Structure 1
């Protein structure tokens, strides 16, 4: 191979390899930002208990969207809804104690 081709080929290969991620990056939000500490703690609890009704991205499924729930309810109100339920479709007690407080704290930041 000529030196001219090598000068082109080597940087191209290196660029292509650098574009391939190692798959070990930390989870990021849709906008590319790292999740907050409270979200990182609350999201697994949410996914285990709430995702079916409120959706993977909080967009709502059988239940309402939670994307901006912090604009409507305070942290204390959200925690009360989690613990006591609301209406006929939101059962209470799916999340208890500190986990309920953690999820309420996270959801209250969504505005």
Structure 2
């Protein structure tokens, strides 16, 4: 090792690759465990439309959703129209969610605003 300075770098690289390999095995085992919990009736998570709106919509529609760069969302919009726009986008607005259940939760929340 005294004569060849590349050996420490090779050892560090081998240690890093081994570490990554063993950490990925641990992660793969946890994915299987989580999938089994989901199939056997693990805790179901309720989708919160208001939280999705607060995270994704206030940047363009304003903090109170009465309009900003985007239009006013507090005028009792049709839920089906909102669901379509949220999933596919419209004009300059990109799609916000791809999951239909999340889109329905957002549409229900927005259509309930007054």
The one of 51, 62, 74 equivalent to 1:67 is 74
How far apart are the structure 1 equivalents of 2:81 and 2:60? Answer: 19
1:44 maps to 2:51: yes
Mapping of 1:1-111 within 5 angstroms?
41-70=48-77, 74-87=78-91, 89-92=92-95, 94-97=96-99, 98-111=101-114
* Runs of 5+ unmatched residues, structure 2: 1-47
Q: Which has the larger radius of gyration?
A: 2
TM-score by length of 2: 0.53
1:30-83 superposed Cα distances (whole Å, 9 cap, x missing partner): xxxxxxxxxxx322111111110011101111111111042xxx2111100111
Aligned-residue CA RMSD in angstroms? 1.8
Between the two proteins, the alignment pairs up a number of residues equal to 67
**If the length of structure 1 is used for normalisation, what is the TM-score?**
0.54
Unaligned runs of 5+ in 1: 1-40
